[in-house]
Chain A
Amino acid sequence: MTTKRVVVCLDVKGGRVVKGVKFEGLRDVGDPVELAVKAEAEGADEVVFLDISATVEERATLLEVARATASQLFIPLTIGGGLSSVDDVTRALRAGADKVSLNSSIVSRPELLGELSARVGAQCVVASIDARRVGDQWKVFTRGGRTETPLEAVSWAQRCVALGAGEVLLTSIDRDGARTGYDLELTRAVADAVSVPVIASGGAGQASHLVDAFVQGHADAALVAGILHDGVTTVAALKRGLRDAGLDVRGVR
């Protein structure tokens, strides 16, 4: 058995954790190292740092943040945002990341996935897909949800896996920050279409939403962010909710 994972995502900009609604309107929610360590103490199974920096200066701080975090964090750390080459990824891993998540860079150059998995192993390589419903399908967006691509999310996820991704981080732009639950249809469509673990993202408001993502959405992991930062709930409370729903989770008795 593998437990259902609760993944805590921290959007990092200029060395601080920020949170936005529908990819816009950012506000400061704290220090990344402190929040990551707190997440582990509460029972989080993984931490993700997504670098949403707009400038090179802001971005330069992320590797320092990663290093400071990795020296205190003993659960997996994923870093994403702005990684566009094997060298970028190597630097992120050397700074203390266990996995890297790639989004816009693999849309522009899908071969990067194969180059990376040959070097660091597929289990280190996460394909991050931001999707939004357009008509009767889900389209892939890049650049933090601003640019629509011709790609359809389910087939793009399959292609990412075929090329070497070991995991898919699937974000519904429509649900991001809305707290009305994950896009279960999207999550299930992707989770059923690929053989690698899928992390559902965008829309968590309460424990039952995570239960739905696992049971109905067939996700292996669920990502949470905003509801933790606002003190709406805690990782421990979410995990108790999962356990009470009969799901296998780590660290809850």
Chain B
Amino acid sequence: MKATLFDYGAGNLFSLVRALEVVGVAPTIEADPLACAKTNDLLVLPGVGAFGHAAARLAPARVALARQLAEGRPCLGICVGMQLLFEASEEGEGAGLGVIPGAVTRLRTPRCPHIGWSKVGEEDFYFAHSFACRPVDSSVVRASTTFDDERFASIVRWRRTVGVQFHPEKSSKAGLALLGTLVREVTS
């Protein structure tokens, strides 16, 4: 299966590429946002970098990509890539795609960032984030996770777009299994 992985130029894409390959996806890394909007395959927004930096890189194609997602282009957003599906973030300037109404706000937990393995359903997945998505419409929330005294959306689903706050590509066997499931769900 083909996919386009948007490169914001800020981090490790290598692990995600390898994890996608393991679950049968062959991603093309694309640093030009306009080129990302020229195909209609699975769009992957990776979980690296800060919101402001990523939003700035995405900006030229923001409207085009949001329209594609509304029309049913499959999309997987991981960590900051999930946050980019929302309207804006306290982390930095700029706009996300805004396909899911809501904002991204800082965790108010005693320990922040939230770094480590936390439960999503029955299994533990690896999280590394200081901000979390607050969807206006709770029907998009597929799973929530509790860290310290806060509960936040850890999986959201809207049309053929799925966003995960954790890193499936860094969550060992459970992560790879879920990555495969999510990719099949949004592309089938």
Contacts and interface: CB of A to CB of B under 8 A. Distances in A.
A5 B50 contact: no
Interface stretch (B12-20, B37-45, B59-67, B133-141): B12-20
A122 B10 CA distance: 12
A3 B115 contact: no
Contacts, number: 125
A45 B80 CA distance: 21
Given A71-B14, A118-B53, A220 B116 contact: yes
Given A98-B12, A123-B130, A124-B11, A250 B175 contact: no
B172 A75 contact: yes
B72 interface: no
A95 B80 CA distance: 20
A251 interface: yes
B128 A70 contact: no
Interface in B1-50: 10-15, 18-19, 48-50
B113 A95 contact: no
Interface string B105-131: 000001111111111000010111110
B115 A220 contact: yes
Name B's interface SS: mixed
Contact of B117 (A3, A94, A195): A3
A197 B91 CA distance: 19
Contacts of B147: 1-2
A2 B170 contact: no
A195 B113 CA distance: 8
B14 A95 contact: yes
Contacts of B112: 195-196
Interface in A139-186: 166-167
Interface in A1-34: 1-3, 5
A251 B124 contact: yes
Most buried by B among A40, A90, A117, A122: A122
Interface residues of B, number: 41
B14 A167 contact: no
A226 to B, nearest CB: 23
Range, interface on chain A = 35 or more
Contacts of B129: 123
A215 interface: no
A74 B50 contact: no
B115 A120 contact: no
Nearest to A2: B116
A96 B11 contact: no
A97 interface: yes
Contacts of A195: 110-112
B113 A74 contact: no
Contacts of B115: 2, 123, 166-167, 196-197, 220
A45 B167 CA distance: 13
Interface of B: 10-15, 18-19, 48-50, 52-53, 80, 91, 110-119, 124, 126-130, 146-147, 167, 169-173, 175-176
In the A-B complex, list the 9 residue pairs whose CB atoms are closest, starting with the nearest: A123-B128, A2-B116, A96-B14, A250-B124, A123-B113, A121-B50, A93-B11, A250-B117, A3-B117
14 contacts: A2-B115, A70-B15, A71-B18, A74-B173, A76-B126, A94-B13, A99-B128, A117-B50, A118-B52, A121-B49, A121-B80, A121-B130, A196-B111, A220-B111
Interface of A: 1-3, 5, 40, 45, 67, 70-77, 90, 93-99, 117-124, 166-167, 195-197, 220-221, 250-251
